[in-house]
Amino acid sequence: MAGLNKPDITPPRWLLAELTYACPLQCPYCSNPINYPDYNNELSTDDWKRVLSEARKMGAVQLGLSGGEPLVRQDLVEIVSHGRELGYYSNLITSGLTLNEKRILELKNAGLDHIQISFQASSAEVNDFLAGTQAFQQKKDMARLVKKHGYPMVLCVVIHRQNIHQMREILELAIELDADYLELANTQYYGWAHRNRDQLLPTKEQFTEAENIAQQYKQKLEGKMKIYYVVPDYYEDRPKACMNGWGTTFLTIAPDGTALPCHAAAQLPDMQLPNVREFSINEIWNQSAAFNWFRGDEWMKQPCRSCPEKTRDYGGCRCQAYMLTGDMYAADPVCSKSPDHATITSITETTQENDLNNEDQPLIFRNPKNAAHRHNPDNSK
């Protein structure tokens, strides 16, 4: 395999532990796979501790504890405590449901560094509609308790057409809750979000207006609140440097132990994803076919192969290329140099028309009934 363009393998820096796909919420933009019930054979506490130890030994230092809802795992405190002993900086990414003051204190004592609470919207009505359950007040209460107990206060709001009109109110909510960080993450269209794309993608005008508001607040709040703004890549003309390059930085472990170079990689064809039940993290990272698949640039086609920007964006997202062109080796069609770029333009134009004609289909909520799985293959589209 040693070609000129095969770079040295860099060690993982980020371990994203998707502890469970169980979740009390039903967000229609969930990034979990649409067949998430197939992952119910969850790793044991000892498996997770071994995964943390092995990844740490290789150089991983940021630990994301995510899901689903990670608080559903009864062994969360034990996992956090193990992570702290190993020297990880641990981030709990939660909906705030099933959280309470006692648990916040237990996690703090176990060495958890930070809790990120998601909000679906700035009002109870929209928030609870999107979450598919009553959650707004609980989230606000938990955000205040997180702050009270000395954690950095991080709010995350996923932005799409159902809440983008609330941009100003979302920022005001963050101020009201005294957030230290606010992540405004425009929806990335994978998993459930891809299924609901036509109902979620904002129009160009909506996006521009919201971004202007976010920028105003960013200046106004400088030094008080850090605002991270994740751009919606359908309105860019260059692709994102997905995962900072395949197999360079991020290691995701699904609830059943499947190791993923990115959390959407399970949909890619021919990719036999290794499982931590069978292989060590070292073997997975360095030797598995899956993690080596898109390392370097030998796999690239034109226009990426001869593009001077390939060292910056790595050809964009492999999953997006596959979903939108049927070819995982193609340039990410977000790129205006891609021969398939018209696919993106046609999607954004449809959005524009739907919005004008008010022709939205109902959202498909993330729940077992709507999930695609072995017994319900019709839901796979």
Partner 1 sequence: MAFNTTLSINLAPGHRLQWEEAQNAYVILYPEGMVELNQTSAEILKLCTGELCFDEIVARLEQLFNVQNITDDVHEFIQVAFDNGWIKQT
Residues that bind partner 1 (CB under 8 A): 11, 13, 58-59, 61-62, 64, 87, 89, 91, 113-114, 116, 150-152, 154, 180-181, 222-223, 226
Under DSSP, the state recorded for 213 is: H
H or E element in which residue 251 lies: strand 250-253
Compare residues 249 and 275 and give the one whose CB is closer to partner 1. 249
Compare residues 151 and 234 and give the one whose CB is closer to partner 1. 151
Compare residues 103 and 147 and give the one whose CB is closer to partner 1. 147
Cβ 22 to partner 1, closest distance in Å? 23
Q: Is 212 strand, coil or helix?
A: helix
The reply to whether omega before 303 is within 30° of 0 (cis) is yes
Compare residues 7 and 87 and give the one whose CB is closer to partner 1. 87
Cβ 326 to partner 1, closest distance in Å? 33
Edge-to-edge, what's the strand order for the sheet holding 14-18?
Answer: 226-230, 181-186, 153-159, 114-119, 89-94, 62-66, 14-18, 250-253, 259-260
| Distant-in-sequence, close-in-space partners of 141: CB < 8 Å, separation ≥ 6 | none
Strand 259-260 to strand 250-253: parallel, antiparallel, or no bridges (unpaired)? antiparallel
Cβ 235 to partner 1, closest distance in Å? 24
Cβ 151 to partner 1, closest distance in Å? 7
| Distant-in-sequence, close-in-space partners of 94: CB < 8 Å, separation ≥ 6 | 69, 70, 71, 115, 116, 117, 118
Cβ 142 to partner 1, closest distance in Å? 16
Distance CA 133, CA 370 (A): 16
Cβ 10 to partner 1, closest distance in Å? 10
Compare residues 150 and 269 and give the one whose CB is closer to partner 1. 150
Give backbone dihedrals phi and psi of 174, rounded to 5 degrees, phi first.
-60, -40
Compare residues 3 and 150 and give the one whose CB is closer to partner 1. 150
Cβ 158 to partner 1, closest distance in Å? 15
Cβ 59 to partner 1, closest distance in Å? 3
Compare residues 59 and 326 and give the one whose CB is closer to partner 1. 59
Distance CA 201, CA 194 (A): 10
Compare residues 103 and 114 and give the one whose CB is closer to partner 1. 114
Buried-exposed string 75-89: b where 16+ CB fall within 10 A, e elsewhere: ebbebbbbbbebebe
